[in-house]
Amino acid sequence: MNGKFTVANFRQAKKDNRRITMLTAYDYPTAKIIDEAGVDSILVGDSLGMVVLGYEDTIRVTMEDMLHHIKAVVRGAKRALVVGDLPFLSYHMGKYESVKNAGRLLTEGGCKAVKLEGGIEVIEDVKAIISAGIPVMGHLGYTPQSVNIFGGHKAQGKTIETARKILADAIALQEAGVFGIVLECVPYKLASFISERLDTPTIGIGSGAGCNGQVLVTPDIVGLFRDFSPRHSKRYADFGNMLEEAAKSYILEVNHSVFPTEKNSFTVEDEIIEQLRREF
């Protein structure tokens, strides 16, 4: 595909049965590298709170945090569709606040779409945001902003009631006009069933290969976030250990005056130093 990836390409990819790829980023260099690698979409997720800011969950992430990181990612992404997460409580205080906050992610942050968590309970907010011309991505299953309701990181949709609820939420989101729905930690047979039932693309994380695309948290796949390793993720590289080794080598070289050498330094005419010695 040439040119920028848009929400229209999301829908077309599902029609063409082409898998959509999405990764998270929170800074300029990471966004630039994964964009150049060819990822379709970059999510500036509120996982920011855990994998970059060191919080235990996503609850304390603010609009200002999101804007700060979305701006950096947008500067690095030339082709991928940048989606910004609406943080906790930024779309639960009435439609006016929801549209205002979603709009800020586009007008100040520069992303092209927003993601929010929940189904029928936030459907009026979703409709209002879309009516304002802002593309919305849904997020169902395990929704991290509800961690205190779920009582921990747990797969969702294992009973007939919860499976029915996820399907009903997905249909409501589709009818409201979302361009994609993240399914997080939904049993893979349920995720496949929902993906078949919908025209809207599903993007899975921990929800199996039957989804129309996949999303993962980049610091997890490169081993930069080492506090824990989610079962649903896969480690493709070990930057964490590489960084630790690099830092150890640097410390050793500075301690033993191996670094810096003349190659890493700048020169000045000896005459200038001599002049200074005479003066001081």
Binding site for ligand KIV (CB under 6 A): 24, 43, 45-47, 85, 139, 182, 184, 205, 215, 217
Say if strands 81-85 and 41-44 run parallel, antiparallel, or are unpaired: parallel
Q: Which of the residues 36, 56, 184, 271 is marked catalytic?
A: 184
CB of 263 to ligand KIV, least distance (A): 41
Q: What is the C-alpha to C-alpha distance for residues 79 and 170, in angstroms, rounded to an integer?
A: 28
Peptide bond into 230 cis (omega under 30): no
Q: Please say which residue, 28 or 259, places its beta carbon nearer to ligand KIV.
A: 28
- Contacts for 106 with CB less than 8 Å, ≥ 6 apart: 84, 112, 114, 134
Please say if 64 is a catalytic residue: no
Q: Please say which residue, 37 or 258, places its beta carbon nearer to ligand KIV.
A: 37
CB of 23 to ligand KIV, least distance (A): 9
What's at 3, amino acid-wise? G
Q: What is the C-alpha to C-alpha distance for residues 86 and 91, in angstroms, rounded to an integer?
A: 7
Q: Please say which residue, 47 or 174, places its beta carbon nearer to ligand KIV.
A: 47
Q: What is the C-alpha to C-alpha distance for residues 162 and 172, in angstroms, rounded to an integer?
A: 15
CB count within 10 Å of CB 94 equals 12
CB of 33 to ligand KIV, least distance (A): 17
Nearest-CB residue for ligand KIV:
45
Q: Please say which residue, 96 or 228, places its beta carbon nearer to ligand KIV.
A: 228
CB of 243 to ligand KIV, least distance (A): 21
- Residues designated catalytic: 184
